[in-house]
């Protein structure tokens, strides 16, 4: 093993607050590209979609995604 292989990578974190416009755009993007979402982003995409659904009525959500 080399020295680099024994080194533990530092934890990576991102603290970011999305505004409503960003959440709406991400939700549309993920919905329109569902088949391309990498497994590592499925939880993120699900949280974005839940944020949209929790802020809208069913009719608003249907209109938003159509």
Tens digits of per-residue pLDDT, 6-38? Answer: 677 788 888 999 999 999 999 999 999 999 999
* 21 inside domain: no
The number of domains in the chain is 1
Q: What is the pLDDT of residue 64?
A: 81
The tokens describing 48, both together, are 């974005």
Tens digits of per-residue pLDDT, 30-49? Answer: 999 999 999 999 999 999 99
Q: What is the pLDDT of residue 33?
A: 96
CA angle (31 as vertex; 25, 32 as ends), nearest 5? 90
Give residue 2's pLDDT band: very low, low, confident or very high (50, 70, 90): low
* 44 inside domain: yes
* 30 inside domain: no
């Amino acid at each position: 093993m080399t020295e680099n292989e024994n080194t533990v990578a530092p934890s990576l974190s991102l603290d970011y607050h999305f505004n409503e416009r960003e959440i709406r755009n991400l939700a549309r993007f993920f919905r329109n590209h569902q088949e391309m979402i990498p497994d590592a982003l499925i939880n993120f995409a699900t949280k974005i979609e839940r944020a949209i659904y929790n802020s809208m009525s069913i009719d608003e959500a249907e209109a938003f995604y159509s």
